[in-house]
Amino acid sequence: MRIAMLTSWFYPFPSGSANRFYEIGKRLACRHEIHIYTTSLDRLKEENLEGMRVHRYCRINPSQSLERGVAGLNLAFSLDTMRRMVRDMARWKFDIIDCNMTSKILPFVCFLASKLRGVPLVETWHEVWYTQNLSYYNVFVAPFALVTEYTIPRLATCCIAVSNSTKYRLMKLLRVDGEKIVVIPNGIDLDSFRRISAEKKKARIVYVGRLETHKGLDMLLRAFKGLQTTFPESELIIIGDGSQRRRLVKLSEDLRLTGVRFMGVIPRCDLFRTIGSASVLVLPSLFEGHGVVLLEAMAAGTPPIAVKSPESGVNDVVKHGFNGLLVKPCAEEIEKAVDKLLTNHTLYDRIRESALGFIKHYDWDIIATKVLDFYEYIYQRNNMAG
């Protein structure tokens, strides 16, 4: 098959949605022709990456907010992609298009391209923002964003949701027919974790993800201040970048915290080793499509703590008391949960063992096979209908 995968963010951009297309694309490229249309972190335009043909247009800054300030870039990228897609589809005759839902503009480009050549369009949904659009966009843009999000799933032949929570929100909030949605979760590279060994550091807490408002890092920093009273030797490692970095560094200074390190974006091997060296991983995000870093923590033998929120897909990943802990969204509850794991060794060991068994079903090889099976089903159905 010839497959076109379009995503505003892609490797090495530090985000879960970018990593999904990278991990799936490189596995499918072993037997199929994969084209990735995306943005660039440097001046590189075209490259062959692990068998994938990667076409890059427009530059993105990793410290830029993905929620605000990128509308102009997304528009430029989408228009440039539309022009090139028309050319490339005549040249390569794609069998299927998959649009990563990281933009509210790109899906319309994918829709036009799919209609132009009669190619089925798949949309991969990580999150449903719905009323979150009203909080993150200004008063002029927010209504447009809300209506656009409602329209987008109706452009697709079918949708992939990365969690049951995302599927539920697509159905309930955007009124998408459940028969049009299949759930295929994110995954992890289990082999990478098996090759890396790291010594556990007592009272080392790690966060991995974007530094954005909805990620809840304010709560984590305040929780860490309380933990330092009980565990003076504790340290908090924050891995990732985003628009809130400066503000969070200042908050850390205002709280007079010691042992906090903002490491920015680091290589994957160092990331896995750091997660493995931590005693606990905390994801305080209020809004998460799936939370792949929780799976990575489990694979590294590091029990995760996540915030329980009706708008978050972490409920599909963390089963409270089994493979991690779920807490209410407040600093005090996060502090209590970390304290519990660090002092209750029986609970710690039980969660760790259960998590290692749980993540065996989330290997990227398994996930990529499921995605390919779905592509082939949609492709065959489209041919029969034609």
Determine the structural domain holding residue 318 and report its residue range: 190-361
368 and 295 share one domain: no
The pLDDT of residue 8 is: 86
The pLDDT of residue 386 is: 60
The pLDDT of residue 335 is: 97
Give the Cα separation of 32 and 337 in Å (integer).
Answer: 46
Q: At what angle do helices 16-28 and 292-299 cross, to 10 degrees?
A: 70
The pLDDT of residue 384 is: 80
156 and 63 share one domain: yes
348 and 369 share one domain: no
286 and 297 share one domain: yes
CATH of the domain at 122: 3.40.50.2000
Chain centroid to CA 126: 7
196 and 180 share one domain: no
Dihedral over Cα of 286, 292, 297, 301: its sign? positive
196 and 140 share one domain: no
pLDDT tens for the chain, residues 1 to 386: 999 999 988 888 777 888 899 999 999 999 999 999 998 877 668 899 999 999 988 777 655 544 455 666 677 788 788 878 777 877 888 999 999 998 888 899 899 889 988 899 999 999 888 776 666 666 777 788 788 999 999 999 999 999 999 999 999 999 999 999 999 999 999 988 888 888 999 899 999 998 988 899 999 999 999 999 999 999 999 999 888 999 999 999 999 999 999 999 898 889 999 999 999 999 999 888 788 899 999 999 999 999 998 777 888 899 999 999 999 999 999 999 999 999 999 999 999 999 999 999 999 999 999 999 999 999 999 888 76
The pLDDT of residue 143 is: 81
Give SS3 for 312. coil
270 and 281 share one domain: yes
355 and 368 share one domain: no
The pLDDT of residue 65 is: 47
| Cβ-contact 210, 180 below 8 angstroms | no
99 and 198 share one domain: no
Q: How many domains does the chain have?
A: 2
249 and 372 share one domain: no
- Placement of tokens 């656009």 in the chain: 148
Give SS3 for 386. coil
pTM: 0.86
The pLDDT of residue 133 is: 67
278 DSSP assignment: -
332 and 371 share one domain: no
The pLDDT of residue 288 is: 82
Spatial strand order in the sheet of 2-6: 46-49, 52-59, 33-40, 2-6, 96-100, 121-125, 158-161, 181-183
| Cβ-contact 243, 69 below 8 angstroms | yes
134 DSSP assignment: H
128 and 211 share one domain: no
Cis upstream peptide for 185 (omega within 30°): no
The pLDDT of residue 106 is: 87
In sequence order, the β-bridge partners of residue 103 are none
The pLDDT of residue 355 is: 95
